[in-house]
Structures are given as C-alpha cells and as structure tokens.
Amino acid sequence: MSWTTSRRARLLAGVVAAVAVIVALLMTGLGRDPSVFASPLVGRMAPNFTLPQLDGPPVTLARLRGQIVVINFWASWCTECQDEQAALDQVWQQFQDSGVVVIGVNFQDTAGAARAYVRTDAVTYPVVEDAGSKTALAYGLRGVPETFVVNRSGRIVKHVIGPVDAAGLAAEINSTLGTGAR
C-alpha cells in the first residue's frame, strides 16, 4: 500500500496545524473587553443636573466642581448593579476624604424599590432620583449599570459600560487625582 504511516502522520499534522492557526486567530477575538469602548463623551463637559436625593437635599453637579465625581447609573431591578455595589461603596469609603464624591443616579425605578435596595444592600453614598430619565438621556445612557468619572474641572474622563471593579475604579481616580486641578 502506498499509504504509509508517515504520510498519514503528515496529513494529521497538517490538520492540527490548520486548526491551531484558526484557534489562535479566534483567541485574539476573545481577549477583547466589551465593557471598554471609545465613548464619544470622554473629554466633554459632564452635563449638569440638579436631582433630589432619595432621602436628603437635592444634589447639583456644578456645585461639586473642584472635586472628582463618580456618577453611577443604577436600578433596583438590575443584577449587575448589585454585583458592583460593594466596589462603589469601597471606593466611596476609601476616597471620600480626598475630594471624591460617589453619586448613585437611580434610573427607571420606583422610590419604594430603590429605598429597599439602598437599605438591604447598605448603600452609603448619596443616591438621587432621575424621574423622567432626563439626566440619563443627557448622558446617552444605553442601559444600567453605567459609570462616569468626572474630573475636577467637570470633564468626563472615563465611561464604563457594565459593572465596575474596585481596583480599576480606584486606579482611575488616583490618576485623576494626580493630574492636579486641571
């Protein structure tokens, strides 16, 4: 028979090599993080808002100029928001004395459900209500959770779609703190 074992082995090696090339190619597609994307809002001034707190006086973004503001859009019905809750609280605890404010903007929710969430999930930072979603529209929100980091001069420096992680957010805040008042 002309079909020797070595010829078979060569063919098999060819198949394996071809598959390896395909897999390597597809693997690069896996490396991409879908939550990071080129947001058109980064670099622009953050749209101002004055929104009533769930339990407290209204908050006006413009009044916070000079501080770094983390704006997190969330809802009680959003499970990814529950996932990132601890991270936001951690960042708030860590940085609230260094001129950083975390604000939760409640999106498309009922006040009752939002209050219950703040209680059971022990949200410590201020939470405002965005009735009518005007602020969400101004920020071009695609869904919740989404998080914006605003620097001291009121410009958006980071836009995260999906849940944030504490380390990444802390790193972003540190670098923004480091760039000074500009």
Partner 1 sequence: MSQLGTYLLLFALAVSGYGLLAAVVGAKTGRPALVESARRCAFGLFAAMAAACATMLAALLSNDFAIRYVADNSALQTPTFFKALSLWAADDGSLLLWNLILAGYIAAVALRFRRDRPPTFPYALSVLFGVQVFYLILINGPARPFASLANPPADGRGPAPLLQNHPLMAVHPPFLYLGFIGFTVPFAFGVAALLTGRGSDQWVSVIRRWTLVVWCFLTIGLVLGALWSYSVLGWGGYWAWDPVENVALLPWLMSTAFLHSVMLQERRGMARLWNIALVIGAFALMTFGTFLTRGNVLSSVHAFAQTSVGPAYLAFLALVLVAGFGLVAWRLPELRTPASLTSAISREGAFVANNVLLLAATAIILLGTTFPLVVEAVSGQQITVGGPYFRSAVTPVFLLILLLAGTAPLLPWRATNRSRAFRRLRVPATAAALVMIATAWAGVHQVAAVAGFGLAALVFVTNGQEILSGLAIGRRGMRGGALSALARGRRRHAGLVVHMGLALVAAGIIASSSLAEQTQVTLKTGQSTVFAGQVLRYQGLHADRQPQRIVFTTAVSVMNPRGGPAGTLDPRMNLYPAATAPIGSPSIRRGIVWDLYASLISLQEDGRSATFRFYHNPGVNWLWLGGLVMALGGAAAAWPARRRDPRDDPGASVTRKRTAVEVGAR
The alpha carbon torsion through 175, 92, 69, 50 (nearest 10 deg) reads 180
Find the shortest distance in angstroms from Cβ 117 to partner 1. 7
Find the shortest distance in angstroms from Cβ 81 to partner 1. 9
The rounded distance, in Å, linking the Cα atoms of 54 and 118 is 9
Nearer to partner 1 (CB atom), residue 68 or residue 105:
105
Nearer to partner 1 (CB atom), residue 147 or residue 151:
147
Nearest Cα neighbor of 107 from 68, 62, 138 is 138
Find the shortest distance in angstroms from Cβ 40 to partner 1. 12
Tokens of 95: 């940085």
Find the shortest distance in angstroms from Cβ 12 to partner 1. 5
Nearer to partner 1 (CB atom), residue 100 or residue 145:
145
Find the shortest distance in angstroms from Cβ 13 to partner 1. 9
The distance from CA 28 to its chain's CA centroid, rounded to whole angstroms, is 23
Residues that bind partner 1 (CB under 8 A): 1, 3, 8, 11-12, 14-16, 18-19, 22-23, 25-30, 32-35, 37, 75-80, 82, 108, 110, 112-113, 116-117, 120-121, 133, 136-137, 140-144, 161-163
Nearer to partner 1 (CB atom), residue 20 or residue 63:
20
Angle, CA of 31, 74 and 165, to the nearest 5°: 40
Nearer to partner 1 (CB atom), residue 29 or residue 57:
29
